[in-house]
Amino acid sequence: MRIERRLQQPWWLAVVVPIASLVVAFVLSAVVLLLTGHPPIRSFHRLFDAAFIAHGALSETVVSATPLAFTGLAAAVAFRMNLFNIGGEGQLYGGAITGAIVALLMAGAPSPLVIAGMVAAGAVGGALLAAIPAVLRAFFSTNEIITSLMLNYVVGLVLEYLIFDSHSYLRDTSGFQASVFPQGKSLPSEATWSSWSVHSVALPLGFLLAIGVAVVVWVLYARTRFGFEVQVIADAPRAGRYAGMRTRRKILAVMCLSGAIAGIGGASQDGDFRHQLDPRGLRQANYGYTGIVVAALARYNPLAVVPVALLLGGLQNAGFALQGVDFPNGLVGVMQGLILFCVLGGELFVRYRVRFERGPRVTKSPAPEPTP
Amino acid sequence: MTKRKFGFALPLALAAALILALGVSTGSARTQKKAAALKAAWMYVGPHNDNGWSQAHDKGRLYVQAQLGSKVETTYKELVPEGPQTTQVIESLIRDGNKIIFATSFGFQPAMVAAAKKYPDVKFEMATGTAQSANMAEYFGAGEDGIYLSGMAAGAATKKGVIGYVVPFPIPEIIRHANAFALGAQATHPGARIRLIWTNAWLDLGKEKKAAQSLVAAGADVLGQNVDSPATGQFAESKGVPWVGYDSDAHTFAPKQWLTASIYNWGPYYLRKVKALLNGTWKTNFYYGSLKDGMIGLAPYGPKVSAKTKAAIARKKQALINGKFYEFAGPLYDQKGKLRVPKGKRLTVKDLYAINWLVRGVIGSAKG
């Protein structure tokens, strides 16, 4: 048996492989479920019901998907240039901090202005943080994986410091409630981002922004000279240099763009959902790291990031709906893991094909369908 | 080759079909049986079997289920993160038909308050919180009284007079617990010092173990804790250091070094409130349980607690119950030796809910 790269990828593979992957995931999970004494069809029905079908489920999935779309895009933008920005987590915190500061400072101004200010501040906050590993990489060839990863912890501690260990501008210090548990100041009502309802599905502004960002990034990478140069530098850095492309500038630009997107995701957490700087909630959520999974599943294609974020957000939600007395949380994790594993593993069959050989004779068979 | 592939797929498909048929039949049978029961749900910040805080609540849930049998169908959601996800979990619980929801971590409060406004027909119960409304009750217990008694066991066990205490967040709840622990330890070992390490998490096994390690390295010869998991105890057992737990009886994690723990017995409260909802007499409340009503208790002692200590603790427990003794009565001094509560005065529950200073003999900062 041999695995070889496909020279061309037939169009139907992009449809058949994901479906087949889901079927395989279903069969594998069914075995696990049966062994542990749970009804598989009912479990799967509940999983998808809670994620996408039940009344209000899709709105909640969008809530989970919004930050993942931002961090997924942030990762996709950088990874496409082989810049491994693992710092989406910290850049999201950064955007949440700057976004909250601007929201509090601009209290009283017209709401659209405040919201625009928060988006801009979030972008700047994230970009500034990403600029640190970017400069180190561009000028000192430091490994950006390490530096951006380490910065996550630094920003995470700063975030906690602002609310738990100091009387910062962002911390609420008035009232009984605030004396019981440290919390961020409530953001003014002008800083609440709008939300639209389409067929009873609530679409928060942040989610629409994420779609907008995805389109912009796609155009940037597929239709502009900047995008072309980024691809050349990614695939053949030396060729890029001979052609006179400015590698350092591209590294700075791409990392800052990546950080800015994650930062807007942080501002969206403030404005769309939490309405205060919430260090514990943000740190528990791991949006930045999950975003890397989103980007990988989307094969760094910005347009695919949003649907993948919806899938992952839905799975996350459904996990909580499924777990309970007769359904342990670990089993939920196994099901989620199997689905992700199979969908990711299925990718292999899009890009490669398996050839079976027996003896010296090479069998000429049609491209086999994917099997586990 | 194609032939081989199908040979593999066919049994698999058959197996799948069989499984599905089985799944559908058992699934529908279950829904029919429990259709009439009242649905009640619990939300935990950690795993339901954390051998600490969340497990104590889950024991309470099981108690309700056992007492009321088929009249009630209880469930729980564990490891629920704070923020938008809390709201989602509450929404999905309500969608599933739960009529009363017990939230057992302070961080769930904003989402609970919002849900209580949105769903006036559902009853919300918030442990350790502060926001009460018509359909949202608050409940907690004077854990400090039990912790004072467990502190006495720690004080009796220390030789060097240095006790390590692993604590989560520098908030009033934990500060009053740490104070009670210190006062209890000083009652059996005058001048005992309590060294704090904050983990900034309710449940983080790695951080808790590391904190325990640092405390022992810093000279502590007894360990105590206010965090949720028994990781401190496991480390204590491995080092031969006596250990005082918290929330649940976790002596199995340190059979030799276990002293005791202040534990919560949530069951009777849960039973009362669920029963009230069944009878249509549910009312909101701000309930603060005590040693007297049994919400607070002391776990069974380990082998290292002497008969003398046991007797002393029993006397103090009786005094706490009949009101002859109160650990937060003056004179109380803070870490710098300043008199905070003069003789004849005492801290009220409201004072304790906002306390932000540590008593004399505690080493560590009330700011984390």
Mean pLDDT of B301-318: 95
Inspect the interface and report whether the beta carbons of B80 and A320 lie closer than 8 Å: yes
Residue A244 phi, psi (nearest 5): 85, 20
Three-class DSSP labels, A31-48:
HHHHHCCCCHHHHHHHHH
Selected residue of B19, B32, B167 to mutate for chain A interface (largest A Cβ count, 10 A): B19
Task: Give the ranges where B69-140 is alpha helix by DSSP (H).
Answer: 84-95, 109-118
Per the document, the length of chain A is 372
Mean pLDDT of A46-62: 88
Residues of B in contact with A39 (CB under 8 A): 22-24, 26-27
Could you tell me if A256 and A275 are in contact, meaning their C-beta atoms sit under 8 angstroms apart? no
Is the confidence at residue B11, as pLDDT, over 60? no
Q: Which domains does chain B have, with CATH numbers?
A: 35-142+266-289 (3.40.50.2300), 143-263+297-363 (3.40.50.2300)
Encoded amino acid at A321, one letter: A
Inspect the interface and report whether the beta carbons of B84 and A274 lie closer than 8 Å: yes
Q: What pLDDT does A49 receive? A: 87
Is the confidence at residue B285, as pLDDT, over 90? yes
Residue of A nearest to B130 (CA): A177
pLDDT band at A87 (very low <50, low <70, confident <90, very high): very high
Q: Tokens 């529950």 correspond to what residue?
A: B349
pLDDT band at A98 (very low <50, low <70, confident <90, very high): very high
Could you tell me if B232 and B257 are in contact, meaning their C-beta atoms sit under 8 angstroms apart? no
Inspect the interface and report whether the beta carbons of A39 and B47 lie closer than 8 Å: no
pLDDT band at A360 (very low <50, low <70, confident <90, very high): low
pLDDT digits (tens, 9 = 90+) for A212-221: 999 999 999 9
pLDDT digits (tens, 9 = 90+) for A222-278: 999 999 999 999 999 899 989 989 999 999 999 999 999 999 999 999 999 999 999
Residues of A in contact with B169 (CB under 8 A): 164, 181-182
Is the confidence at residue B368, as pLDDT, over 80? no
Selected residue of A93, A179, A180 to mutate for chain B interface (largest B Cβ count, 10 A): A180
Residue of B nearest to A37 (CA): B23
d(CA B346, CA B358): 15
Residues of B in contact with A273 (CB under 8 A): 83-84
pLDDT band at B139 (very low <50, low <70, confident <90, very high): very high
Which residues touch A91 (CB under 8 Å, ≥6 apart)? A74, A85, A125, A126, A127, A129, A130, A155, A258, A259, A262, A263, A266, A288
Residues of A in contact with B172 (CB under 8 A): 179-180
Residue A240's nearest CA partner among A248, A228, A232 is A232
User: How close does chain A come to B231, measured CA to CA in Å?
Assistant: 20
Which of A101-105, A235-239, B189-193, B195-199 is predicted least confidently?
A235-239
Residue of A nearest to B201 (CA): A280
The pTM of this model reads 0.84
How does DSSP assign B119-139, residue by residue? Answer: -TTSEEEEET----BTTEEEE
Q: What pLDDT does A369 receive? A: 56
Is the omega angle on the peptide bond into residue B168 within 30 degrees of 0, that is, cis?
Answer: no
Is the confidence at residue B33, as pLDDT, over 90? no
Stronger pLDDT, B312 or A356, i.e. the higher one: B312
Q: What pLDDT does B32 receive? A: 45
Stronger pLDDT, A352 or B165, i.e. the higher one: B165
What is the strand order of the sheet B136-141 is part of? B72-77, B38-43, B100-103, B123-127, B136-141, B286-289
Could you tell me if A290 and A120 are in contact, meaning their C-beta atoms sit under 8 angstroms apart? no
Residue of A nearest to B23 (CA): A39
pLDDT digits (tens, 9 = 90+) for A299-345: 899 999 999 999 899 988 888 888 888 888 889 889 888 988 888 88
Residues of B in contact with A329 (CB under 8 A): 47, 78-79
Could you tell me if B108 and B43 are in contact, meaning their C-beta atoms sit under 8 angstroms apart? yes
Selected residue of A41, A283, A331 to mutate for chain B interface (largest B Cβ count, 10 A): A41
Mean pLDDT of B282-308: 94
d(CA B147, CA B226): 9
- The domain locations on chain A are 60-302
Could you tell me if B48 and B76 are in contact, meaning their C-beta atoms sit under 8 angstroms apart? yes
Which of A35-44, A270-279, B206-215, B334-343 is predicted least confidently?
A35-44
Helix (H) or strand (E) holding A360: none
Q: Which two tokens stand for residue B214?
A: 């640092």
State what percent of residues in chain B have pLDDT above 90. 80
Could you tell me if B260 and B301 are in contact, meaning their C-beta atoms sit under 8 angstroms apart? yes
pLDDT band at A120 (very low <50, low <70, confident <90, very high): very high
| B171 → closest Cβ in A31, A33, A181 | A181
Residue of B nearest to A50 (CA): B92
State the average pLDDT for chain A.
Answer: 90
Residue B313 phi, psi (nearest 5): -65, -40
Is the confidence at residue B87, as pLDDT, over 70? yes
Residues of B in contact with A179 (CB under 8 A): 172, 353-354, 356
ipTM of the complex: 0.81
Is the confidence at residue B4, as pLDDT, over 60? no
Q: What pLDDT does B154 receive? A: 97
Q: What pLDDT does B84 receive? A: 87
pLDDT band at B1 (very low <50, low <70, confident <90, very high): very low
Is the confidence at residue A346, as pLDDT, over 60? yes
State the average pLDDT for chain B.
Answer: 89
| A176 → closest Cβ in B78, B354, B356 | B354
Stronger pLDDT, A26 or A217, i.e. the higher one: A217
Inspect the interface and report whether the beta carbons of A26 and B16 lie closer than 8 Å: yes
β-sheet bridge partners, residue A202:
A197
How does DSSP assign A327-341, residue by residue? Answer: B-HHHHHHHHHHHHH
Inspect the interface and report whether the beta carbons of B88 and A278 lie closer than 8 Å: no
How does DSSP assign B271-336, residue by residue? Answer: HHHHHHHHHT-----EEEE-TTTTSEEEPPP-TTS-HHHHHHHHHHHHHHHTTS--TTBSPEEBTT
Mean pLDDT of B217-233: 95
| A179 → closest Cβ in B19, B83, B354 | B354
Residue of B nearest to A326 (CA): B75
Could you tell me if A205 and A115 are in contact, meaning their C-beta atoms sit under 8 angstroms apart? yes
Q: Tokens 């900047």 correspond to what residue?
A: A226
Mean pLDDT of B185-201: 94
Residues of B in contact with A316 (CB under 8 A): 85
Stronger pLDDT, A324 or B332, i.e. the higher one: B332
Is the confidence at residue B27, as pLDDT, over 60? no
Residues of B in contact with A56 (CB under 8 A): 91, 95
| A285 → closest Cβ in B47, B74, B81 | B81
Residue A352 phi, psi (nearest 5): -125, 165
